A and B are shown apart, each in its own frame.
Chain A
């Protein structure tokens, strides 16, 4: 499968105008690629993830196209998108654990979901059970209420449910953020395993945690204030970041072994711009140590090395 996003722009309608949450992003994902989507809060990564599957009431598709396996996705048309949802594009939403109805047993939730998609539950049940066992959950889970499961277990159950029909693209939105360290590892490794076993073809792994992306993702796409900053293999992003934002971000990550007395890390002063009336040109300009007069014009997102794209005048 391949996903191609071309100049996608999605804004949020508010009383005070449009919040330009996603302002012209262009990238591709290859078959079998796990792409990490990283950035801080407000950068647009969740918006991007959601736009690929379902625009909620406040979002407006303003421009650009998304092409999945050669077919253009009808993002603004809720009904037409329904044909793609869950079968071609699936999502594990943020707080998926709270997405399970507390008054229903897990098995019933699964049955209702599948039947609403026109899938015969009894037919897929053996496969469903097999996959649950694969992720370490037993058949009993189907008979339990969500409150009886731990956070990690719920997350895994939701992940299996979301990928049951082998979608081409899975969007995992902050699936590890609310978990303990040990569960995080299990869930992240599970995502990779799903790809290995072809349960999903490609994955978009949205998180703010660059370190987990280094472990689990093939490539990392870094976003800032609604625009793309950098895309490269996870190795390249961590060890040879080019965009000033990525460099500052990577250098602010505390690691086991780095101590305050030995090496003082520093953050990025300032805060991201308001997306209600964003500044013209590069949005990182105000906080960027390499800013110059050229930055008044938005830098293009171009390839500076094979497989490594950056949007920065100082680099290109």
Chain B
């Protein structure tokens, strides 16, 4: 996954000091290294401002397309349960009905409304994604920053911890733990996911922190009386803001996917509805054989749509933050 590398001298004025960085990590400049550069012409830095970022972001079709898909699903998750005519688990309707005006997505073989199950499932998916992804993001950032900035023994210990958790087959552990724990809520599921998917994020953050730590502006911050924690949050993290954002998006999508997998295997909470659980029930009830496509297609499309949309958004953002990937 591409890390945004900035100090781009390609798209901007060339022998002088390069174009503004775009909130991403900075690589030392080449042209001004030998002698101090004559200043670039006075102008607002390209895309270093929020407004500039939005300008480029909204022009990137990948970002816009991905974002639109995700927004549609979010809207469905928020509004769906409100407009759904039936409760998701209520099973007093006709069984195995294809979509009709009464039951928009048809019914399951238990007589449940697929549409209301679907939108409830969307809510669960986003909950797991936000909690699980958010927790993983937080852990990855904290471990990565600390290991990268402190170095030495602290780094060795954290690195070992990261590697151990990285190497453990996550899904296998989750299956085992879920089976033992008898998971009762999505919160717990999200917690488990969050606790196991942070390592790659930590490694990436650590690597980038190593590079940024050696920059002189970190020394200047220390000379201004800043504590270690302040240096990380106020100097290093802002330089990685684009990367941290992308990391969150990926962790969010990943958590949804893992959650759906767990639910599909029947290891998620059985008392509420989720997309994976829907697919599980559909599969167990031989919906495939019976031809009840309206039962398993919506949750499948839902998962693919959300996760796929998030990933496409991420690719688009990569282009926004890294001008070299953009078509000029």
Q: A contacts B directly in the complex (CB < 8 Å)? A: yes
Residues in A lying within 8 Å of B, measured CB to CB: 12, 14-16, 19, 21, 40-42, 44, 46-47, 58, 94-95, 174, 177-178, 208, 271-272, 274-277
A12 CB contacts on chain B under 8 angstroms: 13-15
Check B98 for interface membership: any CB of A closer than 8 A: no
A47 CB contacts on chain B under 8 angstroms: 15
Decide if the interface of chain A is mainly helix, strand, loop or mixed.
loop
Decide if the interface of chain B is mainly helix, strand, loop or mixed.
loop
Q: In the docked arrangement, what's the CA distance between A134 and B203, Å? A: 48
Cβ–Cβ contact B12 & A41, under 8 A:
no
Cβ–Cβ contact B15 & A41, under 8 A:
yes
Check B30 for interface membership: any CB of A closer than 8 A: yes
Q: In the docked arrangement, what's the CA distance between A177 and B37, Å? A: 15
B40 CB contacts on chain A under 8 angstroms: 274
Given contacts A12-B14, A15-B328, A21-B14, contact A42 B37 (CB under 8 A): yes
Return the chain A residue nearest B35 by Cβ: A41
Cβ–Cβ contact B15 & A274, under 8 A:
no
A41 CB contacts on chain B under 8 angstroms: 15-16, 31-32, 34-38
Instruction: Select which of A14, A94, A177, A271 is within 8 A of B12 by beta carbon.
Output: A14
For this complex, 12 residue pairs linking A to B, each with C-beta atoms less than 8 Å apart, are A12-B14, A12-B15, A14-B12, A41-B16, A42-B38, A46-B31, A58-B14, A94-B34, A208-B35, A272-B38, A275-B15, A276-B41
Given contacts A15-B328, A58-B10, A271-B39, contact A174 B34 (CB under 8 A): yes
A19 CB contacts on chain B under 8 angstroms: 13-15
A42 CB contacts on chain B under 8 angstroms: 15-16, 37-38
Cβ–Cβ contact B11 & A14, under 8 A:
yes
Q: How many pairs, one residue from A and one from B, have CB atoms within 8 Å of each other in the complex?
A: 58
Residues in B lying within 8 Å of A, measured CB to CB: 10-16, 30-32, 34-41, 43, 46, 328
Cβ–Cβ contact B35 & A40, under 8 A:
yes
Q: In the docked arrangement, what's the CA distance between A94 and B32, Å? A: 12
Q: In the docked arrangement, what's the CA distance between A72 and B32, Å? A: 32
Cβ–Cβ contact B41 & A14, under 8 A:
no
Q: In the docked arrangement, what's the CA distance between A46 and B9, Å? A: 15
Instruction: Select which of B10, B14, B34 is within 8 A of A177 by beta carbon.
Output: B34
Instruction: Select which of A15, A46, A174 is within 8 A of B15 by beta carbon.
Output: A46
Given contacts A274-B41, A276-B41, contact A44 B35 (CB under 8 A): no
B43 CB contacts on chain A under 8 angstroms: 16
Cβ–Cβ contact A15 & B34, under 8 A:
no
B41 to chain A, nearest CB (A): 4
A41 to chain B, nearest CB (A): 4
B34 CB contacts on chain A under 8 angstroms: 41, 94, 174, 177-178, 208
Q: In the docked arrangement, what's the CA distance between A165 and B86, Å? A: 85
B35 CB contacts on chain A under 8 angstroms: 40-41, 208
B37 CB contacts on chain A under 8 angstroms: 41-42
Return the chain B residue nearest A178 by Cβ: B34
B32 CB contacts on chain A under 8 angstroms: 41
B15 CB contacts on chain A under 8 angstroms: 12, 19, 21, 41-42, 44, 46-47, 275
Q: In the docked arrangement, what's the CA distance between A274 and B31, Å? A: 16
Given contacts A40-B38, A276-B41, contact A95 B14 (CB under 8 A): no
Q: In the docked arrangement, what's the CA distance between A41 and B29, Å? A: 13
Q: In the docked arrangement, what's the CA distance between A42 and B31, Å? A: 9
Return the chain A residue nearest B10 by Cβ: A58
B79 to chain A, nearest CB (A): 42
Return the chain B residue nearest A12 by Cβ: B14
Instruction: Select which of B13, B31, B46, B328 is within 8 A of A276 by beta carbon.
Output: B13
Q: Quick one: which of B10, B16, B36, B328 has the most chain A CB within 10 A?
A: B16
B176 to chain A, nearest CB (A): 42
B111 to chain A, nearest CB (A): 61
Q: In the docked arrangement, what's the CA distance between A40 and B15, Å? A: 11
A10 to chain B, nearest CB (A): 11
Closest 6 CB pairs of A and B: A42-B38, A274-B41, A41-B35, A12-B14, A272-B38, A177-B34
B258 to chain A, nearest CB (A): 37
A178 CB contacts on chain B under 8 angstroms: 34
B39 CB contacts on chain A under 8 angstroms: 271
B45 to chain A, nearest CB (A): 13
Return the chain A residue nearest B11 by Cβ: A15
A251 to chain B, nearest CB (A): 18
A44 CB contacts on chain B under 8 angstroms: 15
